[in-house]
């Protein structure tokens, strides 16, 4: 079964540092997403990406966040200057026009 692959599985970074979380969506999917889940809280939408541009973003997705699809396979989330409150599980997801979402196994980001 096709998978969404995320790397790394766990990232520890110092406050103020930049991090890049990487994802390889399912190859024939057209829509790509980032969600996050703070420990003990619900899954929250960050951003959706279609046709090489952001199609929707949440209030969480401020100027510190950016997304990129640098080539035909990777989809990245960059946090420019991490804060303690950015510590969370970050999930990448993709889907086709009619299909359900497939989530990656997540990157656990710990900001210290």
Partner 1 sequence: RKEVEQDPGPFNVPEGATVAFNCTYSNSASQSFFWYRQDCRKEPKLLMSVYSSGNEDGRFTAQLNRASQYISLLIRDSKLSDSATYLCVVNTGGGNKLTFGTGTQLKVEL
Rounded-to-10 torsion of CA 8, 45, 103, 63? -30
Among 11, 22, 74, 101, which residue sits at the site for partner 1 (rule: CB under 8 A)? Answer: 101
Among 24, 45, 64, 69, which residue sits at the site for partner 1 (rule: CB under 8 A)? Answer: 45
Among 21, 106, 109, 111, which residue sits at the site for partner 1 (rule: CB under 8 A)? Answer: 106
Count CB neighbours of 68 within 10 A: 13
Q: Any idea what DSSP says for residue 52?
A: T
Rounded-to-10 torsion of CA 40, 41, 46, 49? 80
82 binds partner 1 (CB under 8 A): no
Among 7, 12, 38, 55, which residue sits at the site for partner 1 (rule: CB under 8 A)? Answer: 55
9 binds partner 1 (CB under 8 A): no
């Amino acid at each position: 079964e096709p998978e969404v692959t995320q790397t790394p599985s766990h990232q520890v970074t110092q406050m103020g540092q930049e991090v890049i979380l990487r994802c390889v969506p399912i190859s024939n999917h057209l829509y790509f997403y980032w969600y996050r889940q703070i420990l003990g809280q619900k899954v929250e939408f960050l951003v959706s990406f279609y046709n090489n541009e952001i199609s929707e973003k949440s209030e969480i997705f401020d100027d510190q966040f950016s997304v990129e699809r640098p080539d035909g396979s990777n989809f990245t989330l960059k946090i420019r200057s991490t804060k303690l409150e950015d510590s969370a599980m970050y999930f990448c997801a993709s889907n086709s026009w009619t299909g359900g979402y497939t989530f990656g196994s997540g990157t656990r980001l710990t900001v210290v």
